[in-house]
Amino acid sequence: MSEVSSTRIGFRDGLLRLAEERKDVVFISTDSLLVVKGEPFLDRFPDRVIELGISEQNGVGVAGGLASSGLVPYICTYAGFLTMRACEQMRTFVSYPNLKVRFIGANGGLHGGNREGVSHQFIEDVGILRGMPNFTILCPADGGQVFEAMLASADIDGPVYIRIGSGREERVFPDGTPFPLGKIRVMADHGDDVALFAHGFVLNRVLEAARELRKAGIGAKVVEVATVKPLDRDGVAGILRATGSAVTIEDHTVINGLGSAVAEVIAEEVPARLVRLGLQDVYGESGFPDELLDAYGMSVRDIVAAAGKATAAGKR
């Protein structure tokens, strides 16, 4: 399980594939080409790279102009420089007119930002975008899944956000595994005691926690929710009906992300006990990725304990 994949390369290779197939695909760099090792794209498609320098607001504005005149721009840089620095441009000039722009946000979560510290660790990106109509928000688990998510989302007629990391992620799925756009995916099913909903670079931990829980006699379902928006509400509700209790695990603040999305389904459709793991309304700090996830409440032990807490409240 320690084999390294790279979400950044997954993006780049997905973009190469799309550009080979589609004449309208262009890449906007805000001095971020090297961040995703984009030289092969520049070599192959020099006329389809727009380098704008360090200017994310301008980059998103340019993307809006391109998308309104016949092209499909992919803009990739650090997640917060898009979703926070250029937040209003994403909202008013892309999401509102529902333009076909693809945003790829790097350094998602503590895992993604790791030693860079808080300015480069983005724990709010999903929550910010969840409030914007028209957005599709994807949080693939590893490099191969980013590649597949790029292909799967290519025809979405509106803005898409794909969360990627630092480029050193553990492999979760064998390469070539399709990305389940718009649907939850049950990755392990050890029983109906508790559902573990998660996405992204914490999934191997969640799978391990589920195995630990099985040893302790608690049957967990591991459910990947890689499409945070639009949420597969029916899928989530179905799982909740079976388990009656749930834990969400996300490398993101627990406010407005996956935990909140699942809580909305619980509140509106299927009453259940919920424990949300993730950043508990705090910022992170510099550190190694796995250390950070452990330190901020996303260790295997934390997941096991949360599942125990969720199930202890009893099934309905």
- Contact residues for another protein, defined by CB under 8 A: 26, 47-48, 50, 52-53, 55, 57-71, 73, 88-89, 92-93, 96-98
Smallest gap from Cβ 24 to another protein, in A, equals 8
User: How many Cβ atoms sit within 10 Å of the Cβ of residue 113?
Assistant: 28
Task: Quote the distance between the C-alpha of residue 83 and its chain's center.
Answer: 13
Nearer to another protein, 25 or 261 (CB): 25
Instruction: Give whole-number Cα distances, 267 to 134, 222, 273, 283, in Å.
Output: 23, 21, 10, 27
Supply the DSSP symbol for 70.
Answer: T
What contacts 67, CB < 8 A, 6 or more positions away?
73, 94, 99, 100, 101
Q: Closer to another protein at the Cβ: 58 or 286? A: 58
**Nearest-approach distance from CB 80 to another protein, in angstroms:** 17
Torsion of CA 26, 30, 34, 36, to 10 degrees: -60
Report which secondary-structure segment, H or E, holds 106.
Answer: strand 102-106
Tell me the closest approach of the beta carbon of residue 202 to another protein, in angstroms. Answer: 36
Length of the chain in residues, anyone? 316
Closer by beta carbon to another protein, 98 or else 177: 98
The nearest distance, CB 16 to another protein, in angstroms, is: 17
Other beta carbons less than 10 A from residue 210's beta carbon = 25
Minimum CB separation of residue 66 from another protein in Å reads 4
C-alpha angle 83/88/92, rounded to 5°?
120
| Nearest residue (CB) to another protein, 25 versus 149 | 25
Return the number of the residue (70 or 217) whose C-beta is nearest another protein.
Answer: 70
Nearer residue to another protein within complex by CB, 74 or 147: 74
Residue 54 beta carbon to another protein: minimum distance, rounded to whole angstroms: 9
Least separation, in Å, of the C-beta of 85 and another protein?
Answer: 10
Residue 189 is encoded by which pair of tokens? Answer: 């099913």
50 versus 242: smaller Cβ distance to another protein: 50
> Dmax over Cα atoms in the chain, in whole Å?
60
Q: Which spans in 177-232 are helix H?
A: 203-215
Smaller CB distance to another protein: residue 51 or 291?
A: 51
Taking the complex as a whole, the smallest distance from the CB of residue 48 to another protein amounts, in Å, to 7
Q: Rounded to an integer, what distance in angstroms lies between the CA atom of residue 285 and that of residue 287?
A: 6
Label the pairing between strands 49-51 and 185-189: unpaired
Q: In 3D, which of 229, 224, 207, 249 has the Cα closest to residue 110?
A: 249
